[in-house]
Structure 1
Amino acid sequence: MQPDKPHPPTALPRFGDEPDNSSYEDGARQRLRRNRRLATGLLIAMGATYTATHLVREPGFGTLLVRAGSEAGIVGGLADWFAVTALFRYPLGLRIPHTAIIPNNKDRIGRTLGRFVERHFLTEEALLAKLRKAHAGQRIAKWLAAPETAPVIAGTVIAAVPHLIRTLESQDIHDFANRTLGEQLRQTDLAPIIGRAIEMTTASGEADVLFERAIGITVQWLDDNRSQIDELVRERSRWWIPKTIDRRIAAAIVSGIMDLLHGLAKPDSDVRLKFRGALATLIDELLNSPEQREQLNASKNRILSHPDVQAWIASVWGELSHTMLDDLAEPSSKMRTALEQGLHLVGQTLAADQAMQSHIDGALQRLAKYIITWRGEIGGFIAEVVRSWDTRTVTDRLELVVGSDLQYIRMNGTIVGACAGCLIFLVTSFFT
């Protein structure tokens, strides 16, 4: 008898799907019951054959041969039934020594399994060699670049974001953030940060273009709003001053400001050079002056401690979180689309970057080496988990896994015993 052919592997469940354990267990139990009936039926058939041969009054050679074969088949079937049953329980409930092997040795099996995993799986030779052959970086890159991967990851992340946002709206979280982040901000020295930022901005040509563009906008605004400036000067002038004089004063103010701005717009003008000198002095003070740093940080701390500022920050976070929740509720969420596109681009870039793939392989190997240092604890954990299992449950599970195939031992023992009995009878008859 040959065991059942293995079933073809089924496709792995997608992310979020639950494996159908109940259908697997039902199928295993059906196979176990079927094979157990077959083995028992074969043993009963041997017993019936043996009984039938004794009903023959004058048995001939053939009848005696069948009797010998069925008799040996009964012995072989009973012996293998005893052996298979003794693995999982006491045969016929009799507490015979060295039976119910699995229930009585569950803890030892757990320790042996833990040591086996520790000594033969969690070793550098086995684990690192497998990782090198797996080319995990290349596989991860290929998986990320697949069109169907980004939507799955994005869907999982987007599903978790609303819960995360609602958790962050807790008052306890806000108080914790104010204590931790607020303290970090108060201890941060902003002066060198601002100084370096201004220095980097002024050192780039783009900063000059932006500065000149801002001056041009200001000049255009002054030119477009001359009438309003005239009105402001007239409202603040004395009643006895003629309107003509007010207009000349307003025009002079606007012209003076525009001349100053035009001077600033010229890179080599004295005004621009003086402005650059003042900016360089400010940068030097921010980087090197303790007094300037103290004043700036004191102003920063006063601003952070002001209730209106804290209320404004809270309102900004509230508006931002509600905007995000509203967007996530839409079927065509912009955040989801952006996340999918970003993940897909990362996957495509990673798939074409062998150096990054090698870096991922190296990171996984370093992680594997770190895990190997815990192999003693992992082996102990496996033994502890097996020890905590219910004995009856462990026995039932193991019998579901291997019990169906073990019934073939009973069938084969019955058949081989019958064949051996026939052979012994033939040999004995030949020599007597």
Structure 2
Amino acid sequence: MPLSSSAPSSPRDPALPTGPANDAAKRRALRRHRFWATFLLVAVGAGFVAALRVPQPGFWVELARAGCEAALVGGLADWFAVTALFRRPLGLPIPHTAVIPNNQARIGEGLGRFVEHNFLQPELIAGKLLHARPAARVADWLAEREHAELIVERIAAAAPVALRSIQDREIRRFVAGALERELRGQDLAPLLGRLLALLREGDRHQELFDQAVGTARRFLADNRERVFRTIADRSRWYVPRTVDRKVAAALIEGADEILAELGAQDHEARRRFDQAVAQWIEELHSAPEARAKVAEWRDRLLANPEMRRYLAGLGGELRERLIAGLENPDSTLRRGLVESLQALARALARDPHMQERFDRRLAEIVRGLVPPFRHEIGGFIAEVVRSWESRTVVERIELAVGRDLQYIRVNGTLVGAAVGCALFLVTHYLV
């Protein structure tokens, strides 16, 4: 009965572990199976010769001779077929032998086309992706803090190198351009209106009023001598300096008293300021003139060379801050990234609809990415196979399937023996 080759080819076969580190084990297994296939062929050949040398062979000797003869033919034929796949049998230049090395380019092209048309189907990959439920897997994996930290470590290892590879001039131009485009594309008037409304709701605009009054009083106190010098420089030559100083002191004290009165919560100026803020809020939301004015201020500000230099400087500063934060294991940035990843994992884990949207979006991305690269991937596979040395190709394929091919030789020998014995019995009893 022919031996089955299914068991040896199983990936769970402990005699043939997988992986590049196990090439030596594969070679030993191939040599062992090749030895037994050859030994069986030699054995039936010896049996055939021995049966021929029997002077007066009986029924059983003739049966054995017929079986050994057919087994020898079958074994030799399968040996030739198996050997011809990888090399020329006995080194003879027989046509259509050494099939694999002589057709390496065609094999590579066929393998590339096979992968391209049977594995790189967008719908097939997207379907497998949806079936795998990647969002749930990502959520479960990122739920472990060490996994989130591992992702951040990988980002922290790669991102600084990428950021440093960008020239300072390029990143400055990019950040400045992006900020300018964003600011020019925004209608800032409603935004300013909402900001003022928030300040007014909490009476924060009155705090600004108090700070302005306090700043003015401090300015007067810090610049008393400057006020005196200004008055002295502009007074008549015949006015004594003491008079100038008294005038300056009176002006400063009068201005300070006025500012102090403005600090009172029930002062008329506060009420007018509150009304002015309310009017500004209304105009910023509804008046086209106010919107146009804000847009004009915005454009003038963005056209200012100092502002442009400031925006450009933000790019370099942002990069340095990012690099410093990523390279510091205890930085707020890295802790924030870890917390953000875990927050994403928790949100995904408890929201099936978010998982579905995530999975479908990922599948859509795959559907869009695969078609443009299918042909290139197939061509890449063909090119790689074509670039291999023929000896390497033969060795890799033979190590992968050589054991099963030796079972084919064994089966061919045994099937030949069975057929030979059957034919002998048919001719013996029926003819």
TM-score class, shorter-chain normalisation, is 0.7 to 0.9
Q: Which residue of 2 aligns with 1:49?
A: 47
1:77 CA drift (Å): 1.1
Q: Which amino acid aligns with 2:169?
A: D
Question: 2:322 & 2:186 partners in 1: Cα distance?
Answer: 34
- Which residues in structure 2 correspond to 1:26-425 (within 5 Å)? 26-54=24-52, 56=54, 59-123=57-121, 126-168=124-166, 173-182=167-176, 193-204=187-198, 208-215=202-209, 232-233=223-224, 236-237=227-228, 240=242, 250=252, 252-262=254-264, 269-277=271-279, 285=289, 287-289=291-293, 293-294=295-296, 296-304=298-306, 309=309, 314=313, 325-371=323-369, 373-374=371-372, 377=375, 381=379, 384-385=382-383, 388-390=386-388, 392=390, 393-425=392-424
Question: 1:273 & 1:91 partners in 2: Cα distance?
Answer: 104
Q: Which amino acid aligns with 2:355?
A: Q
Question: 2:28 & 2:350 partners in 1: Cα distance?
Answer: 50
1:38 CA drift (Å): 2.0
Q: Which amino acid aligns with 1:416?
A: V
Contact 1:263/1:272 (<8 A) preserved: no
Question: 2:147 & 2:400 partners in 1: Cα distance?
Answer: 34
Question: 1:269 & 1:305 partners in 2: Cα distance?
Answer: 35
1:197 CA drift (Å): 2.6
Question: 1:372 & 1:329 partners in 2: Cα distance?
Answer: 35
Change (3 A) 1:124 1:324: closer
Residues matched between the structures, number? 410
Question: 1:177 & 1:264 partners in 2: Cα distance?
Answer: 52
Q: Which residue of 1 aligns with 2:235?
A: none
Partner of 2:192: helix, strand, or coil? helix
1:323 CA drift (Å): 5.5
Change (3 A) 1:232 1:367: closer
Question: 1:272 & 1:303 partners in 2: Cα distance?
Answer: 35
Question: 2:304 & 2:46 partners in 1: Cα distance?
Answer: 101
Contact 1:260/1:271 (<8 A) preserved: no
Q: Which amino acid aligns with 1:287?
A: R
Contact 1:264/1:271 (<8 A) preserved: no
Identity across matched positions, percent: 31
1:253 CA drift (Å): 3.0
Q: Which amino acid aligns with 2:89?
A: P
Question: 2:61 & 2:267 partners in 1: Cα distance?
Answer: 122
Q: Which amino acid aligns with 2:99?
A: I
Change (3 A) 1:356 1:296: closer
Contact 1:263/1:271 (<8 A) preserved: no
Contact 1:186/1:301 (<8 A) preserved: no
Question: 2:168 & 2:141 partners in 1: Cα distance?
Answer: 38
1:8 CA drift (Å): 3.5
Contact 2:227/2:248 (<8 A) preserved: no
1:299 CA drift (Å): 4.2
Q: What 5-or-longer segments of structure 1 have no aligned partner?
A: 11-19
1:343 CA drift (Å): 0.9
Taking only aligned residues, the RMSD between alpha carbons, in angstroms, comes to: 4.2
Q: Which amino acid aligns with 1:420?
A: V
Question: 2:267 & 2:100 partners in 1: Cα distance?
Answer: 90
Normalising by structure 1, report the TM-score: 0.76
Question: 1:191 & 1:422 partners in 2: Cα distance?
Answer: 92
Change (3 A) 1:430 1:400: same
Normalising by structure 2, report the TM-score: 0.76
Question: 1:408 & 1:264 partners in 2: Cα distance?
Answer: 104
Question: 2:297 & 2:374 partners in 1: Cα distance?
Answer: 57
Q: Which amino acid aligns with 2:262?
A: L
Contact 1:89/1:101 (<8 A) preserved: yes
Q: Which amino acid aligns with 1:399?
A: E
Question: 1:85 & 1:68 partners in 2: Cα distance?
Answer: 26
Question: 1:89 & 1:142 partners in 2: Cα distance?
Answer: 51
Question: 2:200 & 2:165 partners in 1: Cα distance?
Answer: 42
1:164 CA drift (Å): 2.4
Question: 1:211 & 1:338 partners in 2: Cα distance?
Answer: 33
Question: 1:29 & 1:322 partners in 2: Cα distance?
Answer: 54
Change (3 A) 1:322 1:176: closer
1:23 CA drift (Å): 0.7
Greater mean alpha carbon deviation, residues 175-184 or residues 79-88: 175-184
Question: 1:110 & 1:328 partners in 2: Cα distance?
Answer: 44
Partner of 1:240: helix, strand, or coil? helix
